[in-house]
């Protein structure tokens, strides 16, 4: 019987930190990441692919501003920008995944679903923006953009520069989760919950409204994996394992840890907000809601024995 894996592509799967984001760069990176999923297919896993959108949605927002200032093209709200990024990135992953399948003599249908995710409009996250989007800037550039646009910037924990931050409310429910699950369990490769999903809230009259936010893609992906009872949840990032005492002489890679150990490290502040912290929290959520195993690793490590950091039940 086929098993089901939800695989969350990090931003590095599409765009490397030292790249400007040309379509050639993103397509090459996407192909390489998709190629690393072949071991899962060979182990008879059905796949749901989710993905981040930080650099891409940040660029969409910049085009928003440039178009408004020069041509008076109306600005689009952040939820529309997220939906735009879902379509573009989903198309790119879908096309490169087809190429990977062809190059490996495999045949599967692939479908991209623009996915809405419900949040609470009164979430405290709206008072404290933390989610990084867009490119890295110097302090001087960030100050100018902040003054010109009213944006909020924070320094990257890995000292790569300053990035704009926006609200990141907790995901509560994934729309069309049964459709996503049904397609995947019938053998389709499904691309969903792009960029954490389009953030929406439901009002007192049961009407749906978009909201100015970006949902963390790892938390949204974990919620989807839990809701559809996936067998495995995998987060792909730009490091082979999770580390404690990161970037210090005492740095240590973690192989397999329990959720209690993961919570202990979180309480110690071992993982940076907007970086590794939500990834570890997402894995804990998946395990606590019935999942058996969650993995955080680099794409090229998939298929290797004991790859990545594995988070398991106590």
Burial 239-252, CB ≥16 within 10 A → b, else e: bbbbbbebeeeeee
Catalytic annotation present for 131: yes
CA 297, CA 303: separation in Å to the nearest integer?
11
Q: Is 64 a catalytic residue?
A: no
Choosing from 52, 64, 131, 241, the catalytic residue is 131
Query: φ, ψ for residue 32 (rounded to 5)?
Result: -60, -40
Q: Which of 279, 285, 291, 308 is catalytic?
A: 279
What are the residues whose beta carbons fall under 8 Å from the beta carbon of 265, sequence distance 6 or more?
244, 257, 271, 280
Of 10, 11, 54, 197, the active-site residue reads 11
Calpha distance 215→111 (Å, rounded): 22
11 is catalytic: yes
**Is residue 291 flagged as an active site residue?**
no
DSSP assignment of 209-271: EE-S----HHHHHHHHHHHTT-SEEEEEESSSSEEESTTSTT-EEE-EEEHHHHHHHHHTT-S
193: three-class secondary structure by DSSP:
coil
**Phi and psi (nearest 5°) for 133?**
-135, 150
**Considering 12, 36, 46, 64, which one is annotated as catalytic?**
12
Q: What string of DSSP letters covers 74-138? A: PPPPHHHHHHHHHHHHHHHHHHHHHHHHHHTT----EEE---EEE--TT-GGGGS--EEEEEEE-
SS3 state of residue 298: strand
Catalytic residue among 90, 177, 217, 291: 217
- 77 C-beta neighbours (distance < 10 Å), count: 13
Is 252 an active-site residue?
no
Point out the residues that are catalytic.
Answer: 11-12, 131, 217, 279
């Amino acid at each position: 019987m086929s098993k089901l894996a939800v695989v969350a592509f990090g931003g590095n799967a599409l765009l490397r930190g030292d790249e400007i984001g040309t379509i050639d760069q993103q397509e090459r990176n996407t192909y390489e990441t998709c190629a690393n999923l072949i071991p899962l297919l060979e182990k008879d896993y059905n796949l749901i692919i989710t993905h981040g959108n930080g650099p891409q949605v940040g660029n969409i927002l910049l085009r928003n501003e440039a178009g408004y200032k020069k041509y008076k093209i109306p600005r689009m709200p952040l939820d529309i920008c997220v939906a735009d990024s879902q379509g573009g990135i989903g198309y790119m992953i879908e096309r490169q995944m087809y190429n990977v399948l062809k190059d490996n003599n495999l045949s599967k249908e692939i479908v991209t679903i623009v996915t809405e995710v419900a949040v609470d409009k009164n979430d405290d996250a709206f008072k404290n923006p933390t989610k990084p989007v867009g490119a890295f800037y110097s302090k001087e550039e960030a100050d100018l953009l902040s003054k010109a646009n009213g944006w909020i910037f924070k320094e990257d924990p890995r000292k790569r520069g300053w990035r704009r931050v926006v609200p990141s409310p907790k995901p509560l429910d994934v729309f069309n989760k049964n459709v996503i699950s049904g397609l995947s369990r019938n053998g389709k490769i499904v691309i969903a919950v792009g960029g954490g999903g389009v953030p929406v809230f439901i009002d007192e009259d049961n009407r749906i409204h978009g909201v100015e936010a970006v949902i963390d893609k790892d938390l949204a992906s974990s919620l989807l994996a839990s809701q559809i009872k996936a067998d495995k949840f995998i987060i792909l990032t730009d490091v082979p394992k999770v580390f404690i005492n990161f970037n210090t002489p005492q740095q240590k890679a973690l192989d397999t840890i329990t959720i209690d150990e993961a919570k202990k490290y979180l309480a110690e502040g071992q993982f940076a907000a907007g970086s590794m912290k939500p990834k570890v929290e997402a894995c804990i959520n998946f395990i606590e809601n019935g999942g058996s195993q969650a993995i955080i690793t680099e794409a090229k490590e998939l298929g290797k024995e004991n790859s990545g950091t594995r988070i398991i039940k106590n």
